[in-house]
Structure 1
Amino acid sequence: MSSTAKHQKAPNNANSKLLVRIIIALVLGSALGMILPQNFMIGDMSLVSIITPFGDLFVRLLKMIMVPIIICSLIIGSSSISPDKLGRVGGKAILFYAITTLISIALGLACASIFSPGLGLDLSDASKAVEKAANAPSMGQILLNIIPTNPFDSIAKGDILPIIAFCLFFGIGLAYCRASEDERIKNSANTVYSFFDGMSEIMFKIVRWVMLYAPIGVFALMFVVFNKSGAAAFSSLLNVTVTYFLGLIVMILVVYSAVCMLIGLSPLTFLKKVRPAMLTAFVTRSSNGTLPITMQCAENMGIPKSVYGFVLPVGATVNMNGTTIYLGVCTLFIANACGIPLTGSDYFTIVITSMLAAIGTAGVPGAGALMLLLVLESVGIKVSGSVAIAYGMILGIDSILDMGRTWMNVTGDAVASVYVAKTEKELDIEQWNS
C-alpha cells in the first residue's frame, strides 16, 4: 500500500467532528448572510468587509499547499506501483482505471452542461471573462505545454499540467530504480522515496491544520456570498449537489452495470455484494480507510487475493472516478456563476488535468477542493474576486459532496477488481452466486 494510504487513517471521530463544525458554519454563515441587510455597517466599516478577509485567508492557505501536495502525492503514488507487477493484471487494471476515469470526467462535464449549475447566480466579472477568452491557447499548444522545458520554472510559476507531467515521469523512473538489481541504485532510489514519503506526511499534517481553520473560512465565505446573492445562491448550490449526485448514479447504473453485463455478470449481484464498502465509504469519506472492507467484499465476490491485493490498493491511489465527476461539475458551476466562457481547448484541458490529478488525489478532508483549485488554475481561472466567492460556495458544501466522491471511488475500485478477475478467468463463480 502506498504512502497515500497512511495519511488517510485519521480517526473517524475527528473527521466526524470536523464535518459537524463545517456544516454548522455553512448553516450559520448562510442564514446570517440572508438575514442581515447588505452593507450592514459596524462603525465605519461594512460587516462584509470585516468578514471577507477570513474567507480569503482560507483560500490562500489552500493555494499555499496546492503545489507541494501535487508533487509529493504524484511522486509517491506513481512510484509505489512496482514494475514487476505491471504485467497483464496490472496493465488491465490501469487501462480500466484510465478508461473509466475518462468516462467519468466526460459524464461530469455532460451533466453540468445539461443542468448548467450556477448559470443564474450572476457573480460575473466581464473583464476577467474577456481576458480569459482572449488568452485561450489552442489544443495543440495545450498538448505541447504539458511537457515542461524547465520543470523548476513550472513549479515556481505554478503551471499545473507541466508539474503533473514531470512528477509522473519522475515517479515512474523512481519505481524502476527502486526495483533495480544494482544495490547502489536501489538504495539511492529508496532514499529519494523516503524523502518524498516524509514530505508527503508533513504536507498532509499541514492539510489537517488548515482544515481546522475550515469552519471559520467556510462561515466567512458563505456569509459573503449569501449576503450578496441571497436565495439565488441557495438555489445554485442545490443545483450543483443534485447535478453531481445524478452523475454518480448514472456512472453506477449505466457504466459500471454495463461493465458487469459485458463480462457476463449480474450488476444487481455486484451492487449487493459491494454495498458494505459503499456505505462505509459514504460515512467515513476515506477510500483507503475503507480498503479492508472493500477487500472483504472482494473475497465475498470470489475474487482471489492475488488480484484484489494489487488492484484495490492501486485503485485507492489512482482511481478517482467520483473526484473527476466532481471536478467537471464544479468547474462548470464556477465558470457559469462568474460569467467565464470556456472554449473547446478549455474543456480538453479540464479532461486531461482531471485525469492526471486523480492520481495525486488523497483521501483526506479537503483534498477534492485542492484538486478543484488545481483544475481552475490549469485553465487560467485565477481564484480571486468573484471566482473566490464561487469557489467558497463549493467549499461550503464540499463535505457533502465528499461523501459521494468516496462512495463512487470505492465502487470503481471494486468493479475493476471484478473485471480483472473475470477476464483472467480467476473469479470463483460459485462464490459470486452464493
Structure 2
Amino acid sequence: MKKRYLIPIIVIGLSFVAWLMFGGNANDNVQLTTTPKKGEFVVDVTTTGELRAKNSVEILGPQGGRDIRLFNLTIQRLIPEGTVVQKGDFVAELDRSEITGRLQDAMLELQQAQSQVTQVSLDSSLTLSQARDNLINLEYALEERQIAVDQSQYESPAVQRQAEIDLDKARRQLAQERKNYQTRVQQAEAQMFEVETDLKEEQSEVEKVRSLMQEFTVYAPANGMVIYRRQRNGTKIAQGSEISAWDPVVAELPDFSVMESVTYVNEVDVQKVNRDQEVEIELDAIKGKSMTGMVTSVANIGEQRSGSNSKVYEVIVEIAESDSVLRPAMTTSNRIIVDRLPDAMYIPLETIHVQDSTSFVFKQSGLSTEMQEVELGLMNQNEAVVHRGLTLDDVIYMSLPDDTAGIERIYLEEEITSN
C-alpha cells in the first residue's frame, strides 16, 4: 500500500526539481514579439471637458457700482442652481450694508448743498438790497446837488462853480454805482448757479444710489434654468461670494439647443490642435452616449489652472447634435482628431529604437535577429506609421534583445525620385 503512493510522490518530486532546473528561468529569456498592423491610423488628443451653452442670457447684478465707488458686491441670498424660473422671478439678493452707507453720505452731502443754496440766496438778497438803497440815496443826493446849482445863480462865480463840481461828482458816482449794481447782480447769479449746480449733482447722486439699491434684488430677465457662473478660482458663485462691479454677472439662463464642451489642453499637445478639427465626445454621466463636435476656438494665451503645474490653453468644442439630456457642467471626454490615415501600416512605439538620429527595429530573420532601419510617419501616443522597412509578415521584438553584439544592421536604400 505504501509503494502504491510512494511512486507518484517520487514522480511529482522529480518533476518539480526538473522545473526548477530547466523551466524556472525560462521566462527570463522570453522575448515578446509582434507584427505590424494595417488599418486606420488616428492621431488624437484626449482631454476632459465641461458642457456649457453656447448662447445664454446673463442675469446681472447692479451695473453702476463703480459710479459710487462700490467695486465688490457680496451675495446674501440665492435660489438653488438648476431652478427653472420665469421672467421677473426672484434670483438673488445682495448685501445692502455698504450701499446704505453710501446713501447716508449722499444724503448728508445733499443737505449741505441745500443749506449752501439757502445761504447764498440770503447773502445775495441782502447785498443787492443794500446796493439798491445806496442807489436811491445817490439819486436823492444828485437831486440835492441840482437844487444847489439852481440856487447858486445868485451867488458868486466861485460858489456857482463849486455847486457845478458837486453836481458832476454826484452824477458820476450815481452812474458808477449803477454799474456796480449790475456787476453785483451778475456775481449773485453766478454764485447761485454754482451752488444750484452742486445741489443738482447731489440730488442726482442720491437718486443714483437709490436706483442702484433697487438692483440689489436680482430678478430673471427671461425664462430658463438658472446656472451660476464660475469664479476665477474655479468654484461656482454661492451665498457669500463676491461679484465684481466690472463684471456683475450672477448667473446665466442657457440656451440648450447648442452646447459646447470647454476643455483645456497642455502646452505640448496644443500645438497639434486647430480650428475645425473633428472631435469625438462621450458623456461621463451617461455610459455609451457618444456625440460628435468640432473645435471652434483655441486660446492664444495659456493660463495656470488650479491643480495643474503647467500652462494650459482653453479649447472650445461645439457639439453637432442637440439632445435634451445635455446639461451645463456635465463632464465630457473629448477625443480631438488631429490626423487620420484610412489605410496605414503601424507598429508599437516600444519596438522603435533610435541611434544616431536613425530609427531601427529588431526583427526575426530565420533563426537570427536583424536590426532593420525603418522610415516612420505619423505618431500617436502608442504607435507610429511605417512607410518603409517592414512588411506585414515581419516579426519584430517589443524590447531590446539581451545581446545585440554581432547583430547585422540593414539600412534602407535611398529612394529615387523623378520630377
- Please, what TM-score do these two structures have when normalized by structure 2? 0.18
The structure with the larger Rg is 2
**Which structure features the higher share of helix residues?**
1
- Please, what TM-score do these two structures have when normalized by structure 1? 0.17
**Which structure features the higher share of strand residues?**
2
